Amino acid sequence: MSSFQKIETTNAPAAIGPYSQGFIANGTLYASGQIPINPATGEMVVGGITEQTEQVMKNVDAILKEAGLTPDRVVKTTCYLTSMDHFAAFNDIYSDYFAPHNHFPARSCIAVKELPKGALVEVEILGLV
């Protein structure tokens, strides 16, 4: 018998379209990509790639916590940047998030033309329950 659980928290931005924040299915967390929306205001954070990446990782953390997981359970991330010129600054914040757990998941980092709401960065995760 398979297990299936919807993940939904007010500590991460509500879906801005026809999707869910995430699901746990058969022991794997599948989380939608997180952009730098402050869940308390529903607005994009002010600032550049550093501030946006910090908010994205807070949103990722909120999804993990709602699923009962910690960053060391993330096995894969897919990261989207609107410019590879932002890669070093993004990498600094991303690394700081996973470093305390001495765990760096497998990752793809892709440059894209644009992201929802004019975001500079989006991160999606897969984790093990």
Q: Which residues are catalytic?
A: 109
How deeply is 87 buried, as exposed, middle or buried, from its count of CB atoms within 10 A (0-12, 13-18, 19+)? middle
Distance CA 25, CA 8 (A): 14
CA-to-CA distance for 26 and 112, rounded, in angstroms?
31
> How far is residue 94 CA from its own chain's centroid?
10
Nearest CA-CA partner of 79 in 62, 100, 104, 103: 104
- Rounded Cα distance, 50 and 88, in Å: 10
